[in-house]
Structures are given as C-alpha cells and as structure tokens.
C-alpha cells in the first residue's frame, strides 16, 4: 500500500439546486470565481499537494468539466493565427496530472459519489476535495493536510468552528485529545440540531481517507435526507484507524450557496493586483 497520497476524488455530480437558475445547464463547478472555474481552484490545490491522479465523479450534463482540462486545440490555433496572446489561457494550460472520470448514475449522496471511485482509488489512501468549498490559503489547504497526515497517518478531516445555529448544515466532530491545530476525532454526527451537536467543529470539504471506507460504503446505508452520507461511513471506521481533524490556515468560501459565491468573487477580486484597486474603489462608491 502507498504511504503517499497520490490520488484525489472530486465529487462533482451534485445537482447544485441552491445556485439555480445558473446551474440549470451549467455545472456548479464550472461557475467562475473572478476568471477561472471553481474546479480549477480545487485541481490546482491538489496538484500543489502532490496529487498525481484527479478522479472526477461526474453525472449528467457535466461533460464541460472534463473538457476543460484538455488542450483547446481549435481555440489556441485560431488565437495564434489571429496574432492574439495566449497568456490568458496560461493558467488553464498547466500540467494537471492524469484526469480520470467516472460516473455517478444517480445523485444518491456524497458517500455514494465517493464510492463510485472505488475501483480507481484501489488499495491506497486518497484525498477528497469538494470544489464548492474554495479554500484560499498559502500553502493550500490540502498541502497543509498532507504535511500533517504524513506525521499521523490514518484518516484526516478538515475542520472549522461553525456558529452554534449552523451545526445543522455540517457533519460535526466529537473531539478527543487536542494537539495544536490537530484534534482527535472520537465521533461524527451528520447535521445535528445545535442542542445535539457534540461540538462546534464542523467538517468542511477536504479529506484524506483510508481505502477501507469504501468497504463500509458498499452497504449503501441511507442517512440524513435519505442520502448515502460520507460522514456516516467515516463514523464507522473511528476506533479502527487513527482519526484526526485539522484546522487549516486558510479562508473558506462556501461557493455552493449564492451569498458565499458572490462574496468569494469579491474577496478574490480584491486580492488581485490587476483588479483589486478598481473593485475597492467601486465598492467604496456604493
Ligand atoms: P452538496 O451538498 O453541495 O449538494 O454536495 P449539491 O447537489 O451539489 O448542491 P445543492 O445542495 O443541490 O445546491 C457536496 C458535494 O458533493 C457532490 C456535489 O457535487 C458537491 O461537490 N455530490 C453530492 C455528488 O457528487 N453526488 C451527490 O449525489 C451529492
């Protein structure tokens, strides 16, 4: 078994109903933050963390996601013939490693989406990145997790403190021993009411997992909302393998929701040297 994290699963088969009507025909992960689609931020973060194989779990209407990572031959030739600079494409033409796509034939939940990648993942640890959680940090969130994971192994979740009234939107951690930014995970509860939440440590969209979780997911057990939940499967392997959660040094933008999406565009535009000053001036004028 590899003791490096070489593979990453990107579950991108969800319906994105919170962003309708934009997501009626456009995959949520292809929506743009400033000048690049959400998926590119996640793939760049994975590359920085040393991931060699990107496994997209896609569904109906998501072909644009996979096409995006091909060289755009006609576009590049036409631009070159017209004497146009290819600089704007440069950020989308880096080496993305190997791209593999598998299908989730029905959106039965995040746990089911991850399980759809089981044959490609095989018998090695793997990362999971949810592209709608855009993590802005240097180094990137997954790189910070991989560095911590190399010390402790097992399963590792990414966590952040969430407001008490928001626990119902997250998987929530029952915490054990705390060592700096690392917290031992003793239990996990999916979407608890505030009074039932074991802490305010919510699970956010980055994971490093052991392949054994795929065997738990084989059972196809339905949980909250009738969906096959990843959190429920992870809860079952606690106690059999080291299990920790890391608070990373990064800002999370929840781009799966309209407000988070708009704020992410603003926050990232403000940080850009080529756009920030004008955006700031316009906001001040409002
Ligand atoms: P979300 O909970 O954001 O669901 O999924 P969603 O369907 O994408 O969006 P809404 O709630 O309808 O607006 C979290 C992640 O899991 C993936 C999504 O694509 C997203 O990256 N997912 C979810 C799947 O791939 N398949 C599923 O069946 C469910």
Closest approach atom of ligand 1 to CA 112: 28
Q: What is the mean pLDDT of residues 153-173?
A: 95
User: Which burial class, exposed, middle or buried, applies to 178 when counting CB atoms under 10 A from its CB (0-12, 13-18, 19+)?
Assistant: exposed
Q: What is the mean pLDDT of residues 207-229?
A: 92
State if residue 128 touches ligand 1 by the CB under 6 angstroms criterion. no
Rounded CA separation 283/32 (Å): 20
Please give the pLDDT value at position 184: 97
Please give the pLDDT value at position 92: 58
Contacts (Cβ under 8 Å, ≥6 apart) of 73: none
Nearest CA to ligand 1 atom 16: 110
Q: What is the mean pLDDT of residues 145-151?
A: 97
CA of 63 to the centre of ligand 1 (A): 16
Strand, coil or helix: what is 191?
A: coil
Question: Is the model's pLDDT at 162 over the cut of 80?
Answer: yes
CA of 206 to the centre of ligand 1 (A): 14
Question: Cα–Cα distances in Å, from 228 out to 7, 106, 110, 193?
Answer: 22, 11, 7, 19
Q: What is the mean pLDDT of residues 16-38?
A: 94
Q: 52 near 6, Cβ under 8 Å? A: yes
CA of 102 to the centre of ligand 1 (A): 16
CA of 91 to the centre of ligand 1 (A): 26
Q: What is the mean pLDDT of residues 51-68?
A: 89
Rounded CA separation 27/64 (Å): 8
All structural domains of the chain: 7-285 (3.90.550.10)
Closest approach atom of ligand 1 to CA 57: 25
Three-state secondary structure readout of 9-76: EEECCCCCHHHCCHHHCCCHHHCEECCEEHHHHHHHHHHHCCCCEEEEEECCCCHHHHHCCCCCHHHH
The length of the chain in residues reads 286
pTM above 0.75, yes or no: yes
Closest approach atom of ligand 1 to CA 106: 28
Segment 71-116, tens digit of pLDDT: 777 787 888 888 888 777 766 556 788 899 999 999 999 999 999 9
State if residue 255 touches ligand 1 by the CB under 6 angstroms criterion. no
Tell me the CB-side half-sphere exposure of residue 282, using CA atoms within 13 A. Answer: 8
CA of 26 to the centre of ligand 1 (A): 14
């Amino acid at each position: 078994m590899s003791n490096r994290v070489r593979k990453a699963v990107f579950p991108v088969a969800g319906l994105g109903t919170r962003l309708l009507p934009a997501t009626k025909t456009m995959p949520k992960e292809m929506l743009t933050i400033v000048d690049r689609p959400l998926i590119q931020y996640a793939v760049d973060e994975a590359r920085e963390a040393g991931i060699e194989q990107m496994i997209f779990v896609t569904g109906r209407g998501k072909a644009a996601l996979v096409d995006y990572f091909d060289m755009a031959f006609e576009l590049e030739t036409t631009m070159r013939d017209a004497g146009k600079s290819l600089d704007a494409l440069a950020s989308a033409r880096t080496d993305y490693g190997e791209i593999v796509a598998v299908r989730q034939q029905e959106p039965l939940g995040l746990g089911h989406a991850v399980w759809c990648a089981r044959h490609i993942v095989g018998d090695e640890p793997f990362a999971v990145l949810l592209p709608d959680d855009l993590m802005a940090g240097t180094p990137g969130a997954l790189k910070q997790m991989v560095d911590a994971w190399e010390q402790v192994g097992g399963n590792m979740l990414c966590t952040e403190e969430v407001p008490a009234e928001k626990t119902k939107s997250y998987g929530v951690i029952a915490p054990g021993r705390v060592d700096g930014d690392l917290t031992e995970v003793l239990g996990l509860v999916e979407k608890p009411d505030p009074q039932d939440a074991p802490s305010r440590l919510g699970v956010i969209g980055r994971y490093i997992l052991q392949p054994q979780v795929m065997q738990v997911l084989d059972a196809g057990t339905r949980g909250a909302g009738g969906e096959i939940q990843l959190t429920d499967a992870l809860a079952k392997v606690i106690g059999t393998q080291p299990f920790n959660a890391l608070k990373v040094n990064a800002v999370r933008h929840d781009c799966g929701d309209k407000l988070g999406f708009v704020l992410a565009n603003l926050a990232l535009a403000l940080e850009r040297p080529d756009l920030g000053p004008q955006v700031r001036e316009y906001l001040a004028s409002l």
